[in-house]
Amino acid sequence: MLRINVNGKDRVIQEDLDPEIPLLWVLRDSLNMVGTKFGCGAGFCGACTVHINGQPTRSCQVPAAMVAQQNAKVTTIEGLGGENGALHPLQKVWIDMDVPQCGYCQAGQLMTAAALLKNNGAPSDADIDSAMAGNICRCGTYNRIKAGIKAAAAMAQGGKPAGTRAQGAPKDNDTHAEKEATHERG
Ligand code: FES
Ligand code: FES
């Protein structure tokens, strides 16, 4: 049995689980919280990112038993927004600016971006690049992700609301810059 605090609620998993089972699989298979994605399973892609005690963490690399033992607080994409389905500012911007393409990596991208903005309300390009470097997007949405983070930061500081993608987030992911970004980040 495991007891894990997820999105503010204690969740009890009665199954007899392998003690080494990663948090990712407990979230997805035991708790049916499938917003957190399996990408590489090896700590390289960031698709499985959740927050553990506020820190962006790859849930494929953390034993669920350890999370339970430490009484750690887990936040997943399902808990990123507020009560009653309220969206996190980043989620609003992601929709307004049409950031995702296939969407597979985007829960991880959002969780990493949310942790960044919590600690740094006005991140520079370099701050964003550094914070997001470990989150891979096979669709090459890096430019839109960066524009989205900047727009959410501006919104939080009382700036202009997030605009459309025409205000700095190219929709066509075949742009030269995005191809380069995709290439550089493998
Ligand atoms: S699935 Fe966890 S880092 Fe890729
Ligand atoms: S939007 Fe498709 S992998 Fe990122």
Distance of CA 72 to the CA centre of its chain: 18
Q: What is the pLDDT of residue 159?
A: 67
The CATH architecture of the domain made up of 2-79 is Roll (3.10)
**SS3 of residue 140 by DSSP:** coil
Per-residue confidence (pLDDT) for residue 8, from 0 to 100: 97
Report the CATH superfamily, name and number, of domain 83-184.
Answer: [2Fe-2S]-binding domain (1.10.150.120)
**From-to residues of CATH 3.10.20.30 in the chain:** 2-79
What pTM was estimated for this model as a whole?
0.87
Compute CA distances 51 → 40, 44, 81, 127, whole Å: 18, 16, 13, 19
Nearest CA to ligand 1 atom 3: 43
Average pLDDT per block of 10 residues along the chain, 186 residues long? 96 94 98 98 98 98 98 98 93 97 98 98 97 98 98 85 47 41 36
> Residues of CATH 1.10.150.120 domain(s) within the chain?
83-184
Q: What is the model's pLDDT at position 157?
A: 84
pLDDT of residue 161: 54
Q: Is 100 in the pocket of ligand 2 (CB under 6 A)?
A: yes
Decide: 75 in ligand 2 pocket, CB within 6 A. no
Q: List CB contacts of 23: < 8 A, sequence separation 6 or more.
A: 4, 50, 52, 59, 60, 62, 63, 64, 67, 74
Sheet of 55-58: strand order equals 9-13, 2-6, 73-75, 49-52, 55-58
Closest ligand 2 atom to residue 139 Cα is: 2
Structure confidence at residue 160 (pLDDT): 60
